[in-house]
A and B are shown apart, each in its own frame.
Chain A
């Protein structure tokens, strides 16, 4: 087996008496989509936040491509190849779609402290990223004027533009209509050529279509892991989801 891109070992985090991440271990292999699912309150969001650096774990270890990032600042994790797509769409509303992606490309290419000369000239890369997500014709539109689905795609393009090793997708389908959902699923399925993906998603149809591996969380701990077929058949998972819309 190839070295995992993301390697989480016995991660633990509590808020006061509430244990939200209870000895979670998890490995994401290159070019695979690894889904984390679980009922509400299972600790998916806090797990994502610990991986991205918004929260510090109490104990345990997180490695990205072999490098320990457990105590690293969020922006340094990003530089090591961790890209994020947020639960609530996160773009730069005042800039055009192309400027959004260009800025992301520039950020990868070097110093944020270049103070002289306009911030253009990043080559064909940003446009290619927009083309990839089907937004090339809309490149000159201000991001705040894009539709919800387009904003999602723009965010994916920005994540792609940094050429990540691992992409964290936090509910990428939330709020999307049926048509958007279908085309986003196709798009997401193609992304694993570029990088490994950790996917948190409530839409179970989408998860079973996309995921190569699944980890199931409940009350902060891992209750099952396996292929989609194995997870579907797992009685513990069914019990945890009882009363939830699977």
Chain B
């Protein structure tokens, strides 16, 4: 690993951690920047989990909004039942998303290429419409939470609370995926992307390796869903919309697939455009759209690849 690629993640985490501290210190950064940064962190968790299967494993899921929405709906359903204990909500969300990935992944992994893209999209569309049919949780209109989740009685409602928890989750996700990627399991997952048949002929059950990676990614993404629901205090089928899956994919590719920390850069860029520039002008897609096209034409490895001499 080059020096730069070690320093970039550290710098990223440091600047995300600095934002609320600077604000506490009285710097005039407004309430807007921490808000945006909080959402960047949450989407970075989701995008990083997608990067693990897509960038490392070559499994191009176009339905990664599904585990995000499942995590969010776990919050809504438990909220309606009066359960706000994080030690129940988070494991429940992870379990639900994990089971979803296990079942749908087992079917999706029978296909490859564009068919894999489309079957994962199909499963996410099912989640989207299923969420719309949950009449008790607002149906298409969505559901407003009664309260945020709590940890040992500590409510995540203060301005710094949810931000800090999200940042810790992002850091934990990064450590997890970095460890996995360097492990034998991760090397085989990456090897299967490079040459599936070769890995199979080494005696490795490629299907099991890939399915396991999809389940892990979905479970981590569900945590992002839990955080997102709490951040917005609102849940709706839009969490599973195909545009959301597309935008997670954009984050991964724009940041530089396979680099993990690139997902943070990609999430930052997308959220800054959608929600930052979106406040300035409703026509932000006129800048963001061409930027995507140009980045594909001229930056072959995303932002994380800039300066590595091979972008």
Contacts and interface: CB of A to CB of B under 8 A. Distances in A.
B98 to A, nearest CB: 15
B191 A92 contact: yes
A156 B184 CA distance: 22
A113 B204 contact: no
Nearest to B197: A90
B212 A113 contact: yes
Contacts of A99: 187
Given A112-B208, A117-B183, A119-B186, A93 B194 contact: yes
B132 to A, nearest CB: 37
Given A91-B195, A115-B180, A104 B202 contact: yes
Contacts of B203: 75-76, 78-79, 107-108, 162
Contacts of B185: 112-115
**Interface range on chain B (Cβ under 8 Å from partner):** 20 to 34
B201 interface: yes
A114 B194 CA distance: 20
B50 to A, nearest CB: 19
Contacts of B146: none
Contact of B198 (A92, A111, A115): A92
Interface string A70-94: 0001111011001110100011111
B133 interface: no
B198 A162 contact: no
Given A90-B197, A93-B195, A112-B208, A107 B182 contact: no
Given A75-B206, A104-B202, A114 B195 contact: no
Interface residues of A, number: 34
A111 B194 CA distance: 20
A158 B202 contact: yes
A78 B204 CA distance: 8
A44 B33 CA distance: 66
B190 A107 contact: no
Given A92-B191, A94-B194, A114 B184 contact: yes
B198 A90 contact: yes
Interface of B: 179-180, 182-188, 190-191, 194-195, 197-206, 208-209, 212
Given A75-B204, A79-B203, 16 more contacts: A75-B205, A75-B206, A78-B200, A82-B201, A86-B197, A86-B198, A90-B201, A91-B195, A91-B198, A92-B191, A93-B194, A93-B195, A107-B199, A107-B203, A112-B188, A162-B203
Interface of A: 52, 73-76, 78-79, 82-84, 86, 90-95, 99, 103-104, 106-108, 111-119, 158, 162
12 contacts: A73-B205, A74-B201, A75-B204, A75-B206, A90-B197, A94-B190, A103-B187, A107-B199, A112-B209, A116-B179, A119-B182, A119-B183
